Structure 1
Amino acid sequence: MSTTARIPAAPVDGILGQIVKTMSRRMFGKVPESMGVLWHHKDALKASMAYGRKLDSWDKLDKNLSTYATMAAAATIGCSFCLDFGYFMAHNHGLDETKAREVPRWRESAVFTPVERRVMEYAEAMCQTPVEVTDELSAALLDDLGPAGLVELTTKVGFMNATARGNVALGIHSEEFADACGLAPLATPAAAAVTSSA
């Protein structure tokens, strides 16, 4: 599989480009290469970034649970950019990065609580076609999170599902944000490790 995006990057230019580059360097330490791909349609980029920031400001769902859920969705879809970026942001926001690095192998890992496992199971189920969320899982999460928390979880996973699928379709891959700040590599599921070593 190619590690090059399917659309050549455009120069991130103009006054808006300078603002975006300054903000990116401040937030991420660099300007993501994928920014140039999305720069071809600035309105789509701005809308996506604005909605993402709005979702990040919500507080009905614990921030760690939100991170595990969106990272689990990214892992299910296969978006290396989103998975790496989620891990990097968990570190930057002072969240539990030890657990965040384990998300790709959450079913095998012993570090997660039952609620955290249900949240990641829900995220995975939402990313299937057709959606595989069960009444039992929804009822358990309603007890765990309350109505507002479950709606927030669903909305954030839905947004990640769209973003991750878009990145995969465009050929946008990990830009190794986590490596750049010295984080340990993301854990790899045992089955995937066996397959990749064959």
Structure 2
Amino acid sequence: MPRIPAVTPADAGPLVKMAYKYAAKQYGEVPEPFAVSAHHPKLFVASAMHELAAQKASTTLPANVRELAVYRVAWTIGCSWCVDFGTMLQRLDGLDVDRLKEIGNYAESSLYTDDEKAAIAYADAMTGDVHGESGVTDEQVADLARRFGNNGVVELTYQIGLENMRARVNSALGITDQGFSTDACRVPWADDTVTG
């Protein structure tokens, strides 16, 4: 259970209800971060619009590179909701989710390409330690620019930064895995014994 309860459809305003229907159609269930953020309707709308815009704008990088870097951030921070949702997104993109088991040992794993390893290492450098200190170097950014172009580096940086925000917000609010990776999604406003 999150530290702040989800807003139920009965308690939601018309705009939030409409967003819930869209999210349930898109993902099979309403993502719990949406349902918790609905307590602040203006931020809810701003966040939803931002997520849609960022998704539509992020078309430079190959999906596998972008999604693995984002997944690594979620895994590093320990956001079980983001790991769960990220696994589903990779599966829906037709990516090999079995290799996610090797994400902790990606540098030595033969399951990841050199481009993927470079993006994951960048995610680690950007995410920093628990004090938020970045370990990004000029050489690392230059290498990524050779691989993906300047626009690819900007997209990768943006997506990693965005996932840092998502994962830290979800972790702080106690939002945990919902079952997206297993197609057994928990309904955000139901008690823990009920599944959707």
Q: Shorter-chain TM-score: what band?
A: 0.7 to 0.9
Aligned with residue 6 of structure 2, among 2, 5, 9 = 9
How many pairs align? 178
Q: With the length of structure 2 as denominator, give the TM-score of the two structures.
A: 0.83
Matched to 1:71, the amino acid is Y
The answer for the alignment partner of 1:179 in structure 2 is 182
Q: With the length of structure 1 as denominator, give the TM-score of the two structures.
A: 0.82
Q: Which aligned pairs between 1:23-42 and structure 2 lie closer than 5 A? A: 23-42=22-41
Whether the 8 Å contact between 1:77 and 1:164 is mirrored in structure 2 is: yes
> What are structure 2's unaligned runs of at least 5 residues?
185-196
Q: Which aligned pairs between 1:83-162 and structure 2 lie closer than 5 A? A: 83-100=83-100, 102-128=102-128, 129-162=132-165
Whether the 8 Å contact between 2:81 and 2:178 is mirrored in structure 1 is: yes
What is the SS of the residue equivalent to 2:141? helix
Question: 1:94: how far off?
Answer: 2.5
Q: Can you list the C-alpha shifts for 1:152-193, whole angstroms capped at 9, x where unaligned? A: 100111111111111111111111101117xxxxxxxxxxxx
Change (3 A) 1:162 1:176: same
Give RMSD over aligned pairs: 1.8
Whether the 8 Å contact between 1:70 and 1:157 is mirrored in structure 2 is: yes
Question: 1:52: how far off?
Answer: 1.5
The answer for the alignment partner of 2:67 in structure 1 is 67
Question: 1:33: how far off?
Answer: 3.3
Matched to 2:149, the amino acid is G
Give the stretch that moved more between structures: 95-104 or 169-178. Answer: 95-104
Identity %: 35
The answer for the alignment partner of 2:55 in structure 1 is 56
CA distance in 1, matches of 2:33, 2:137: 35
The answer for the alignment partner of 1:77 in structure 2 is 77
The answer for the alignment partner of 2:170 in structure 1 is 167
What is the SS of the residue equivalent to 2:172? helix
CA distance in 2, matches of 1:99, 1:114: 15
> What are structure 1's unaligned runs of at least 5 residues?
182-198
Whether the 8 Å contact between 2:63 and 2:93 is mirrored in structure 1 is: no
Matched to 2:123, the amino acid is A
Matched to 2:5, the amino acid is P
